[in-house]
Amino acid sequence: MRHYKLIKLNATKSTNDKVKMLIKSKKISSGDIVWADYQYKGRGQYKNTWNSSKGKNLLITVYREFKGLSIKQSNYINFVISLSVIKTIEQYIPNDNFIKWPNDILSGQKKISGILIENNIKGKELRNSIIGIGINVNQTRFRNIPNATSIKLVSNNEIEIEQVLKKLIKNIDEYINILIVKNFDQIMNLYNSKLYGRDSCRLLINNEIFQGKVINVNPSGSINVEINGCGIKEYESNRIKILL
């Protein structure tokens, strides 16, 4: 496993925001990780909040710099991180885990992990990524969140959080190496094989709920879904939501 600096915090507003501060002050290098026991303003995609009990879950942000990846290829960061997270979870929960496009990981029908990636572009290339990852590890009660679960709830085992971190970083390195050599087809095939809703799912489109199924996600980050009676259509992530 590569060497990296681990910045451990008892609490922070959000690990992504902490990394931004460290970038600004030039106190962080590519591959370094901020790890917090608690986030009091943790964020998900589209300004959603991330709720977590102190010391119960893995809350990290990984900072990575890249060379030679175009703006169009920046979506692959999300794909390889999703694959890294689901592989980590499968090391504790072998079956029934899925990627819920665009940025959640499910165990069964419940959310076990969320991802928030902020890409910085310079010219026509991806410059760096701020990769926020939350994995529910030992939390067993989720107030006002009915569709959440944790590794402990599913496996019935208390898990050492640092062990989860080490496995996750190893998996991230593995998949980012696949990205660096630009094996895009392998990444897309693996990602699409893990998608939630390929058999059937409910879709929220323009405030209406439809029954359908996920066909695949495109390299651009859009999704193709088959809506019963309406054929296959392509949507961006701000136009459609997959419901549990």
* Same-domain status, 55 and 168: yes
Q: What is the pLDDT of residues 120-143, one digit of tens each?
A: 999 999 999 999 999 999 999 998
The residue among 54, 52, 195 whose CA lies nearest residue 136 is: 52
pLDDT for 143 equals 86
Residues 164 and 235 occupy one common structural domain: no
Same domain, 156 and 38: yes
**Residue 84 maps to a domain:** yes
Last residue of a domain, one of 154, 169, 193: 193
Residues 101 and 184 placed together within one structural domain of the fold: yes
Domain of residue 231: give its range.
Answer: 201-243
Please indicate, yes or no, whether residues 220 and 116 belong to a single structural domain of this protein: no
Same-domain pairing of 77 and 181: yes
Q: Is residue 137 part of a domain?
A: yes
| Same-domain check for residues 94 and 182 | yes
Closest CA to 244 of 91, 109, 75, 63: 109
Overall pTM > 0.85: yes
Give the closest residue to 169 by CA, choosing from 87, 114, 97, 112: 87
Query: pLDDT tens digit string along 36-63?
Result: 999 987 555 545 555 678 999 999 999 9
Task: Point out the least confidently predicted range of 96-110, 152-166, 212-226, 228-242.
Answer: 228-242
- Domain assignment present for residue 14? The answer is yes
My answer on whether 64 and 178 are in the same domain is yes
**Residue 46, domain member (yes or no):** yes
**Residue 182 φ/ψ, nearest 5 degrees:** 60, 40
Query: Does residue 1 lie within any of the structural domains?
Result: no
| pLDDT over threshold 50, residue 32 | yes
